[in-house]
Amino acid sequence: MAVATKTAPAVAEDRELLISGSEAVAEALALADIDVVTAYPIRPYDTVMQAIAKKIANGQLVAEYIVAEGEHSQFEVVKHASTVGARVFCGSSGVGWAYAMECLVVTPPLRVPMVAMVGNRALDDPGAFGVEHNDALFVRDLGWMLVWIDSSQEALDTTLIGYRLAEDRRVFLPLAISADGAFLTHSQALTLVPPKAKVERFLPPYNRGDLLLHPDNPITVAPQANEDWVIEIRRQNNEAMARAVIVIEEAYADFRTIFGRGPENPWFEEYMTDDAEIILVGMGTISLPIKVGIRNMRAQGKKVGLVRLRWFRPFPTDRLVAALSKASVIGVIDRDYSFGSPFGSGVVANEIRAAMYNAPKRPPLVSFICGLGGREVTLEDVYKVTDLCYNAAKTGKSDTKTHWLGVRE
């Protein structure tokens, strides 16, 4: 695994393409030479399958491309292909991801290193195409690694990193890459596409080792275990997730060495947090209006910063606590909901509350829910968030209420 020690050779330069987040994932999949991919239509993730289909049709990728008859089969087909040694890709959105739920459950304990893309979408009913993060969050407790991205470049890079991470024998867990529906899946940006030679140096072939299902290795996989062994198997998953923390650090470091880009801190992006009094936290493309808002507020002398959380599982508890403890107030903006939860907050706010519990310095935390169903998060919303955080700074107390923004009352 010591790929980082190799020096970057003089190879063809990166190509720069104007592509969407979904197309960027497809570029990465061709570079990763995936073997089996299964598609089923649901907006907005399906744009990645359309892009892969074109690549296969044009000979840029040789892979079995199977259009399944539903998401349940879609995820089962690639699960089984992975157990015989194939590198696989799958994905879905909203209720499609929910329809596959049984298959999402079995993938981590089977130690299938699948990479999937979730084009985040509101759940039915009523039907809505827009972004909410509840779909991907379904699997937050199950052994799936979860990462949120906010640009086409990050989509491409994270897909390559994703295979390196998931297929590392210390991990062998599936990864879901979340891309906000429409805002990222369908929005184009200039993206650097690396040459295959660089990718081959970063990403070793998938080796299933002694877990390979093959007549030369006649193993029995997933026999009925019951109370005799189930808790030990759960513990193994838990330890794999813990080891993923180390492997993520390694993978990003090697990525930076070989490709010459990528963040120093894999876990979250810090934007103007060095001197920030108020630190806002969010996941995905909500970062864009928040960053604009921060720049405008800084021009008025308000010291506001952003922590954009990339990795939700494994959750970067220590690093995040260290980063957030510096603030006078933390404002967490969820693009999801968790009805009946503590304080009625979204999932991210309550994760952060839990992470901060043992922290020596716990700034007041204000929780927000906004942008559900793909509703635009406006600069006015960002200013309102900041104002409410400054109010909490005056009292020095956490707000026990969760504020819904942009809602018709």
Partner 1 sequence: MPETTFTNATQVLEAFKGIKKVTIEEYFTSGHRTCQGCESALVMKLMVKAAGPRTIVLGSTGCMYVANTTYYTTPWVVPWMHTQLGSSGAAALGTAAGLKALMRKGKMKSEPINVIAFCGDGGGADMGLNGISATLTHKEYNSLILLYDNESYANTDIQLSGLTPYGAHTTFSPPGSVKRLIHTRWKKNVAGMLAAGHTECRYVATVCASFAVEMMNKVRRALTIGGPTFIHSLDPCPKGWDYDPMLSHDLGELAIETGIFPLYEVDDGLLKYYGKTKAIVEGRKRKPVREYLLKQGRFAHFTEEDLAYFQAKVDEMWEKWEIPGVVPFKRLEAAKAALEVK
For the purposes of burial, counting CB atoms within 10 Å of the CB of 301, is it exposed (0-12), middle (13-18) or buried (19 or more)? exposed
> Is 106 in a helix, a strand, or coil?
helix
- Are 179 and 118 contacting, i.e. CB atoms less than 8 angstroms apart? yes
> Is 178 in a helix, a strand, or coil?
strand
Spell out the residues 6+ positions from residue 223 whose beta carbon is closer than 8 angstroms to its own.
Answer: none
How is residue 217 written in tokens?
A: 């290795």
Under the binding rule (CB under 8 A), the answer on residue 114 touching partner 1 is no
Site string for partner 1, 161-190 (x = CB under 8 A): ------------------------------
226 vs 334: CA distance, rounded Å:
38
How is residue 379 written in tokens?
A: 């600069």
DSSP 12: P
State the minimum distance, in angstroms, from the CB of residue 201 to partner 1: 18
State the minimum distance, in angstroms, from the CB of residue 196 to partner 1: 15
Under the binding rule (CB under 8 A), the answer on residue 84 touching partner 1 is yes
State the minimum distance, in angstroms, from the CB of residue 250 to partner 1: 25
Residue from 125, 228, 275, 409 binding partner 1 (CB under 8 A): 228
Residue from 36, 324, 348, 405 binding partner 1 (CB under 8 A): 36
Binding part of the chain for partner 1, among 100-108, 127-135, 234-242, 304-312 by CB under 8 A, reads: 100-108
CB closer to partner 1 out of 216 and 275: 216
CB closer to partner 1 out of 222 and 242: 222
41 vs 68: CA distance, rounded Å:
9
Under the binding rule (CB under 8 A), the answer on residue 225 touching partner 1 is yes
252 vs 106: CA distance, rounded Å:
28
CB closer to partner 1 out of 102 and 239: 102
Under the binding rule (CB under 8 A), the answer on residue 35 touching partner 1 is yes
CB closer to partner 1 out of 110 and 189: 110
Nearest alpha-carbon partner for 14 in 157, 191, 158: 191
Under the binding rule (CB under 8 A), the answer on residue 223 touching partner 1 is yes
176 vs 141: CA distance, rounded Å:
13
Neighbours of 400 (CB within 10 A): 11
Under the binding rule (CB under 8 A), the answer on residue 95 touching partner 1 is no
Under the binding rule (CB under 8 A), the answer on residue 57 touching partner 1 is no
Under the binding rule (CB under 8 A), the answer on residue 243 touching partner 1 is no
Under the binding rule (CB under 8 A), the answer on residue 277 touching partner 1 is no
139 vs 137: CA distance, rounded Å:
5
Under the binding rule (CB under 8 A), the answer on residue 42 touching partner 1 is no
CB closer to partner 1 out of 82 and 178: 82
Nearest alpha-carbon partner for 35 in 255, 248, 208: 208
Residues that bind partner 1 (CB under 8 A): 33, 35-36, 38, 62-64, 66, 68-70, 72-73, 76-86, 88, 102-103, 106, 205, 213-215, 217-226, 228-229
